[in-house]
Amino acid sequence: MGYCSFCLEGWDRSPYAEAEFDALIAKAKELKRNSGASDLDILSFNFNTHSRIFDLLLELNKIFRRVSFMSQRLDILAGTEGLMEAELAGGKRSFTLGIEGISKGLRSYYRKGLDEEDLGKCLDFCLRRGVRELKLFFIISGRESPEDLEEFDSLMKGIEGRKAASGSGTNVLVSAGFLVRLPFTPLQYEAPSFDAGRLVGIADRMRDSCTATGAEFRLAGSPEECFADQTLSLFGGSLMPYLLRIPSLGFVYDGSLSRKAWESLERYISALPDLPMLLGAKTRDFRPPLAFIVNEDRHAALWSHYEAAIGFKDRASCFGGRCSACGACVDGKEREGMTGHRIASPRQRSGYLRDLAAVILEKGRFASISIEAAIPEELAFAEPAYRVSWLSRRIFAAYEAASFMVFEIKESIFVPGSVFGTTIPHGTGRFGISRFSVFGPSRERLAALLSRLGAQIPGLKVLEAPAPLEVDLGIRLQGINLESLGKVLGSWLEANRVAFTIGASRASREAKEWN
Which CATH class name applies to 8-220+282-339?
alpha beta
Percent of the chain predicted with pLDDT > 70: 90
* Residue 329 confidence (pLDDT) above 80: no
The more confidently predicted of residues 450 and 258 is 450
pLDDT band at 22 (very low <50, low <70, confident <90, very high): very high
Q: How many CB atoms lie within 10 A of CB 362?
A: 12
pLDDT band at 375 (very low <50, low <70, confident <90, very high): very high
Q: Out of 84-88, 269-273, 345-349, 502-506, which region has the weakest mean confidence (pLDDT)? A: 502-506
Predicted TM-score (pTM) of the model is 0.83
* Residue 464 confidence (pLDDT) above 50: yes
Q: How many CB atoms lie within 10 A of CB 313?
A: 12
Residue 349 in contact with residue 82, Cβ under 8 Å? yes
* Residue 182 confidence (pLDDT) above 50: yes
Average pLDDT value for residue range 321-330: 73
Q: What are phi and psi of 430, to 5 degrees?
A: -145, 135
pLDDT digits (tens, 9 = 90+) for 269-321: 999 988 888 889 999 999 999 999 989 998 999 999 999 999 999 887 777 77
Residue 409 pLDDT:
96
* Residue 108 confidence (pLDDT) above 80: yes
The more confidently predicted of residues 9 and 386 is 386
pLDDT band at 513 (very low <50, low <70, confident <90, very high): very low
Burial of 23-55, coded b for 16+ CB within 10 Å and e otherwise, reads: ebbeebbeebbeebbbebeeeebbbbbbebbbb
Residue 512 pLDDT:
44
Find the helix or strand (DSSP H, E) in which 114 lies: none
Residue 338 in contact with residue 329, Cβ under 8 Å? yes
Residue 163 in contact with residue 206, Cβ under 8 Å? no
How far is residue 483 CA from its own chain's centroid? 51
Same fold, 8-220+282-339 and 366-463: no
Q: What are phi and psi of 280, to 5 degrees?
A: -100, 180
pLDDT digits (tens, 9 = 90+) for 29-64: 999 999 999 999 988 777 888 899 999 999 999 999
Residue 113 pLDDT:
84
Residue 464: burial class (beta carbons within 10 Å; 0-12, 13-18, 19+) = exposed
Residue 8 in contact with residue 184, Cβ under 8 Å? yes
Peptide bond into 15 cis (omega under 30): yes
Residue 503 pLDDT:
63
pLDDT band at 13 (very low <50, low <70, confident <90, very high): confident
Q: Out of 86-95, 229-238, 341-350, which region has the weakest mean confidence (pLDDT)? A: 341-350
Average pLDDT value for residue range 165-180: 95
Average pLDDT value for residue range 144-157: 97
* Residue 125 confidence (pLDDT) above 70: yes
Q: How many CB atoms lie within 10 A of CB 495?
A: 10
Task: From 467, 489, 459, select the one nearest 412 (Cα to Cα).
Answer: 467
Residue 514 pLDDT:
38
Residue 95 pairs in a beta bridge with 134
Residue 476 pLDDT:
66
Q: How many CB atoms lie within 10 A of CB 348?
A: 10
Residue 169: burial class (beta carbons within 10 Å; 0-12, 13-18, 19+) = exposed
Q: Where are the domains of the chain?
A: 8-220+282-339, 222-280, 366-463, 482-511
Which residues, in sequence order, are CB contacts of 52 under 8 Å at separation 6+? 21, 343, 344
pLDDT digits (tens, 9 = 90+) for 480-508: 565 666 676 777 677 766 677 766 555 44
* Residue 357 confidence (pLDDT) above 50: yes
Find the helix or strand (DSSP H, E) in which 153 lies: helix 146-166
Residue 68 pairs in a beta bridge with 41
pLDDT digits (tens, 9 = 90+) for 65-81: 999 887 778 888 888 88
Which CATH class name applies to 366-463?
alpha beta
Residue 433 in contact with residue 458, Cβ under 8 Å? no
Task: Render 199-235 in DSSP notation, one character per residue.
Answer: HHHHHHHHHHHHHHTT-EEEESS-HHHHHHHHHHHHH
Residue 509 pLDDT:
47
**Nearest-angstrom CA–CA distance, 315 and 321:** 12
* Residue 213 confidence (pLDDT) above 70: yes
Query: Mean pLDDT, the chain, as a whole number?
Result: 87
Residue 465 pLDDT:
65
Quote the DSSP letter at residue 415: S
Residue 369 in contact with residue 424, Cβ under 8 Å? no
Residue 421 pLDDT:
77
pLDDT band at 466 (very low <50, low <70, confident <90, very high): low
